[in-house]
Amino acid sequence: MTIRAVRGAIQIDCDTRDEILSGAAELVTTVLERNGLAADDIVSILFTATPDLTAEFPAYAARLLGLTDVPLMCAAEIAVPGAMPRVLRLLAHVDTPRSRAEVRHVYLRGAAALRTDLPQ
CATH architecture of structural domain 2-114: 2-Layer Sandwich (3.30)
- CA 44/CA 94 separation, integer angstroms: 7
pTM: 0.95
**77 assigned to active site:** yes
**109 assigned to active site:** no
One digit per residue, the tens of pLDDT, for the chain of length 120 reads 799 999 999 999 999 999 999 999 999 999 999 999 999 999 999 999 999 999 999 999 999 999 999 999 999 999 999 999 999 999 999 999 999 999 999 999 999 999 888 776
Three-state secondary structure call for residue 30: helix
Which residue of the set 74, 98, 104, 109 is catalytic? 74
Q: Is 37 left (phi over 0), alpha (psi -120 to 50) or beta?
A: beta
Which residue of the set 34, 77, 98, 104 is catalytic? 77
Edge-to-edge strands, sheet with 42-49: 72-76, 42-49, 87-96, 2-11, 106-108
Helix (H) or strand (E) holding 89: strand 87-96
